[in-house]
Amino acid sequence: MLQQILTDMFISPELLAELSEEQKQVLFIKMREEQVRRWKDREARLEKEDATLKKPKKASVKSVQWLAGMDSDVWVWVMGDHPADQSYEQICDDIIAQRAARQAQREAEELRVKKEAELVKRFSSVLMDSELQSWKEEVARQEVARQEVARQEVARQEVARQEVARQEVARQEKREAEERRRAEEEVRRVEQKRKQEIYMDLREVREERDDQHWQDSLRKSKAADLRRRSIAKQTRDDHRRQSVKALERGRVAAVTKAFGGDRPVLPPKPKPRNLTVTSDTLNPKQGLQRTLSTSSREHIIRWFQEEQLPFRAGFQKDQSRIASWFHGIISRQEAEDLLSEGEPGHFLVRVSERILGYVLSYRCKDEFKHFLIDATEGCYMLLGHQIRFTSLAELVEFHKGEPITMSGGEQLLQPCGQRPSGVDYADLFT
């Protein structure tokens, strides 16, 4: 069954629904390995064809000469190795500093314009008073010319007033210059402070974004790597453990034959099925009918009676009577209903209602698991496992002592029998 799936690279939804999670993972890995193998074969074939069809290139008159270094080899410059090259962090810091400087400069210019407007508004009244004073002086001089008698006195008073006015103007100009200097220093201080704040904010945002992205990528990578290692280790341990146990108990036919043991007498060989792979079989678009998956109950019954009953499938190991764990064509839900009446460790083997094969249904502590049993090639084995058994009874007996998977620890403890109302496999044996 597994070889046919890998040959067709297709699995029907009914067959996929019968697989457990572990069997789905094993099947996915096998199909992926088959895809890689086919791709490599195709690439090798294409390269071989290109080599045979490749035409000789015409001689080109163009040429390229590389700059040679001191060692007479091609001169190569790797960015970042030169002492004058800046690292990625330094380049990012320079860009952030330039952005912060431009923004702080804009804010300082706005503050400078605002201070300039306040100063102009504040000292405009002083200039107006000075012009008024000049007009008054002119009027006074005209009055002195008309009044020659009081000219000397008025002149002295005028000189005194001008001196006072000059001193006042000088004080106002000095005060204005001091205010401008203080305003400029304040603007510069605010600009530097704002520049540093913007730089730190941008740097924190970039570091948080880069750190979060790196942490997420690292966490996902570690989780995926751990999951792959766990699946691979579990598969190797299962295969090694089950192979060793099978060799110790003498249940592998190849080992028995290699040591010259007596081969057990097998029941009559069933009628061979036509498994010839043709071009029509490999093309799923031409409406083929697969032998591994069907929804016909009559087809399944005929398959069991013609191919499985001669092997005494479903009987106890001594073939005296039907095993208590064997059930007929029942659905997954019906199997879970039967197992729900028992404790964890209860199990049953049922004929699948969707495919030509069997399903091992098992009750765990919090859930139910279903493992597909491949019944092709005249033997029985769990899909994805390597150990083959000559009968269903041997498979069940083996997993009573050994768990099905190392991670789940599914050990067959107690068989789940039939309901008191009647057996569900009567139509298989009539």
The range of the structural domain enclosing residue 232 comes to 71-136+161-250
User: Cβ(159)–Cβ(208) under 8 Å?
Assistant: no
Does position 282 have pLDDT exceeding 50, yes or no?
Answer: no
Residue 290's pLDDT band, with cuts at 50, 70 and 90, is very low
Percent residues over pLDDT 70 in the chain: 81
**Rounded distance, CA 95 to CA 101, Å?**
10
Q: Are residues 214 and 307 in the same domain?
A: no
For the stretch 367-384, pLDDT in tens is 999 999 988 877 898 888
Select, from the ranges 57-66, 224-233, 294-303, 327-336, the one with the highest average predicted confidence (pLDDT): 327-336
- What would the mean pLDDT of 390-419 be, rounded to a whole number? 88
pLDDT on residue 335: 93
pTM over 0.85: no
Q: Are residues 237 and 89 in the same domain?
A: yes
How many CB atoms lie under 10 A from the CB of residue 352?
A: 24
For the stretch 181-222, pLDDT in tens is 999 999 999 999 999 999 898 888 888 887 788 888 888 888
User: Cβ(93)–Cβ(161) under 8 Å?
Assistant: no
Q: Are residues 369 and 235 in the same domain?
A: no
Q: Is 120 among the domain residues?
A: yes
Q: Is 143 among the domain residues?
A: no
pLDDT on residue 253: 46
Q: Are residues 347 and 409 in the same domain?
A: yes
pLDDT on residue 384: 81
**DSSP three-state, residue 349:** strand
> Which residues are within 8 A (CB) of 69 and not within 5 positions of it... i.e. 6 or more apart?
75, 76
Does position 83 have pLDDT exceeding 80, yes or no?
Answer: no
Of 198, 221, 250, the one marking the end of a domain is 250
Q: Is 418 among the domain residues?
A: yes
Q: Are residues 204 and 82 in the same domain?
A: yes
Q: Are residues 213 and 342 in the same domain?
A: no
**Rounded distance, CA 242 to CA 257, Å?**
19
What domain count does the chain have?
Answer: 2
- What would the mean pLDDT of 342-348 be, rounded to a whole number? 92
Residue 365, domain CATH: 3.30.505.10
pLDDT on residue 245: 60
pLDDT on residue 56: 62
Q: Are residues 349 and 422 in the same domain?
A: yes
Q: Are residues 320 and 234 in the same domain?
A: no
pLDDT on residue 272: 42
Q: Is 267 among the domain residues?
A: no
Interior/surface letters 171-192, b for 16+ CB within 10 angstroms, e for the rest = eeeeeeeeeeeebeeebeeebe
Q: Are residues 84 and 184 in the same domain?
A: yes
Q: Which of 84-93, 159-168, 259-268, 336-345 has the lowest mean pLDDT?
A: 259-268
Q: Is 20 among the domain residues?
A: no
- What would the mean pLDDT of 333-351 be, rounded to a whole number? 92
For the stretch 257-278, pLDDT in tens is 444 444 444 444 444 443 333 3
Comparing CA positions, the residue from 404, 415, 413, 402 lying closest to residue 370 is: 404
Q: Which of 50-54, 107-111, 160-164, 346-350 has the lowest mean pLDDT?
A: 50-54
Give me the residue label for tokens 């496992």.
385
Of 183, 217, 250, the one marking the end of a domain is 250
Q: Are residues 76 and 202 in the same domain?
A: yes
Q: Are residues 233 and 297 in the same domain?
A: no
- What would the mean pLDDT of 216-238 be, rounded to a whole number? 78
Interior/surface letters 32-69, b for 16+ CB within 10 angstroms, e for the rest = eeeeeeeeeeeeeeeeeeeeeeeeeeeeeeeeeeeeee
Mean pLDDT, rounded, of the chain? 79
Q: Are residues 194 and 125 in the same domain?
A: yes
Q: Which of 148-152, 238-242, 299-303, 330-334 has the lowest mean pLDDT?
A: 238-242
Q: Is 29 among the domain residues?
A: no
Q: Is 62 among the domain residues?
A: no
Of 197, 220, 250, the one marking the end of a domain is 250
Does position 176 have pLDDT exceeding 50, yes or no?
Answer: yes
Q: Is 167 among the domain residues?
A: yes
